A and B are shown apart, each in its own frame.
Chain A
């Protein structure tokens, strides 16, 4: 079949892996749709994972392609990308952003880079994280907004929530036990630093900004106190 080489298809355990890594996004999307239409019987009912390489995609671009594919009875269930924008947007839409196998390789690669991962970079998220939303980063994570129950933050560094932390937060995910988690209101579903899981706490009434950290292998939570220089 004719194709400009923008698109490659591979069968994998989870369905079809379609790589569309080069060229303008509109061209790639158009070509993919043409290909699916031409081989309708082959694609009908298929579950597709799309690798877009480093292309940053907006939510609208993803939903458009997803709906167009869906019209052709093709399910887009995952988008692989090295672009953080694309990954985040795909996640917001409830799509996977990694293949199960690939995930492991990424993780093992990450743990080899443990030393580098404490770099003082941070991801800033300027909105409330609702249930089902996950922010994952090797850098520090700062949320300006609430983290609702059912939302999750995973960071190799520190986590700062300028709002209510009611969901789950894992700091120092690669073993940096000096990581801290702080929030204006700390009422998490679960709190973890490295492998340490904080015991659940019941809080009623008004709360104050607090910081959670590990000291001598103990889980500590205390009121924010700038003198401590944390």
Chain B
């Protein structure tokens, strides 16, 4: 086996990097791959919370880098899926505890043992970002259909190109078909037109994601969730399959009707 290292990044905070990392990892593991996710947000770890593995952390990424444990010991196995592991970030340190070459070394050691290494990047363009970009084979840039998030994504895509790691692929998260239909939000087409990179996924805006995140149960584990399906589709596209993009219209119409009702009542 030779693992593919996928780094999830965005520039702007709060657009859904960690949620995407967790769900993509779950989706790939459900497809039968051996997956390790690494939380690259040292000092502000939360991938463990989203995956619901917080209470099982003994060793972390910094322990590996500083030779206090072997990689194996820091890999927490997810009990819900056979082959899903997490290497958590250290909570008590900061980004400078790990260097880009440390990350390359850790990933190289894992490459022969797993199929996918999914790395969650911190917000920003400093050391933490460079750490997570350094070992990547594929970079996925997450953005929301908001002008500020798209601007940061553009900057990140430029930096990825400069590091000769491009071209990155794009995930547009929290798309609200009701709002885009009324012209109150950028459409996925608008975003793709500006960023001019390949689109690999569109995730609908879904309050269930908040609930599942709080419970530590990624939506991709729920077979009925449409949002979970959107993440599974990204996993399929990463494997090289052609999957048509989901139609978000139906639910959007319903959502906008509901929103419209509230608006009438409120005004």
Question: B96 contacts which chain A residues (CB < 8 A)?
Answer: 73
When the two chains form the complex, which single residue of A59, A70, A148 contacts B154, counting CB atoms closer than 8 Å? Answer: A148
Q: Is A213 an interface residue (CB 8 A)?
A: no
State which residues 45-71 of A face B: CB under 8 Å: 59-60, 63, 67-68, 70-71
A90 to chain B minimum Cβ distance, whole angstroms, is: 10
Question: Majority SS of interface residues in chain B?
Answer: helix
Question: Majority SS of interface residues in chain A?
Answer: loop
Given contacts A73-B96, A131-B152, contact A59 B163 (CB under 8 A): yes
- Digitize A121-160: 1 where CB-to-B-CB distance is under 8 Å, 0 elsewhere: 0000000101111000000000000101110000000000
Q: Is A214 an interface residue (CB 8 A)?
A: no
When the two chains form the complex, which single residue of A63, A128, A146, A150 contacts B155, counting CB atoms closer than 8 Å? Answer: A150
B227 to chain A minimum Cβ distance, whole angstroms, is: 28
**In the bound complex, do residue A150 and residue B127 qualify as a contact, i.e. CB atoms below 8 Å apart?**
no
Q: Is A98 an interface residue (CB 8 A)?
A: no
Name B147's closest neighbour in chain A (CB-CB).
A149
**In the bound complex, do residue B151 and residue A70 qualify as a contact, i.e. CB atoms below 8 Å apart?**
no
**In the bound complex, do residue A130 and residue B154 qualify as a contact, i.e. CB atoms below 8 Å apart?**
yes
Question: B154 contacts which chain A residues (CB < 8 A)?
Answer: 130-132, 148-150
Given contacts A59-B164, A60-B164, contact A94 B99 (CB under 8 A): no
When the two chains form the complex, which single residue of B99, B152, B159 contacts A70, counting CB atoms closer than 8 Å? Answer: B99
A207 to chain B minimum Cβ distance, whole angstroms, is: 14
Q: Is B52 an interface residue (CB 8 A)?
A: no
Question: B134 contacts which chain A residues (CB < 8 A)?
Answer: 67
* Complex Cα spacing A59 to B159, Å: 11
**In the bound complex, do residue A130 and residue B127 qualify as a contact, i.e. CB atoms below 8 Å apart?**
no
Q: Is B216 an interface residue (CB 8 A)?
A: no
When the two chains form the complex, which single residue of A71, A89, A128 contacts B99, counting CB atoms closer than 8 Å? Answer: A71
* Complex Cα spacing A166 to B157, Å: 17
Q: Is B91 an interface residue (CB 8 A)?
A: no
Question: A7 contacts which chain B residues (CB < 8 A)?
Answer: none
**In the bound complex, do residue A94 and residue B163 qualify as a contact, i.e. CB atoms below 8 Å apart?**
no
A184 to chain B minimum Cβ distance, whole angstroms, is: 15
State which residues 128-151 of B face A: CB under 8 Å: 130, 134, 147, 151
Name B159's closest neighbour in chain A (CB-CB).
A94
**In the bound complex, do residue A132 and residue B127 qualify as a contact, i.e. CB atoms below 8 Å apart?**
no
Q: Is B196 an interface residue (CB 8 A)?
A: yes
* Complex Cα spacing A88 to B23, Å: 38
Q: Is A92 an interface residue (CB 8 A)?
A: yes
Question: B188 contacts which chain A residues (CB < 8 A)?
Answer: none
Name B131's closest neighbour in chain A (CB-CB).
A70
Question: A68 contacts which chain B residues (CB < 8 A)?
Answer: 101
**In the bound complex, do residue B151 and residue A67 qualify as a contact, i.e. CB atoms below 8 Å apart?**
no
**Interface residues, chain A, with chain B CB atoms under 8 Å away:** 59-60, 63, 67-68, 70-71, 73, 89, 92-94, 128, 130-133, 146, 148-150, 166
List 15 A–B pairs whose Cβ atoms lie within 8 Å, in order of A's numbering: A59-B162, A67-B101, A67-B130, A68-B101, A70-B100, A93-B159, A128-B196, A130-B154, A130-B155, A131-B154, A131-B155, A132-B158, A146-B196, A148-B194, A166-B194
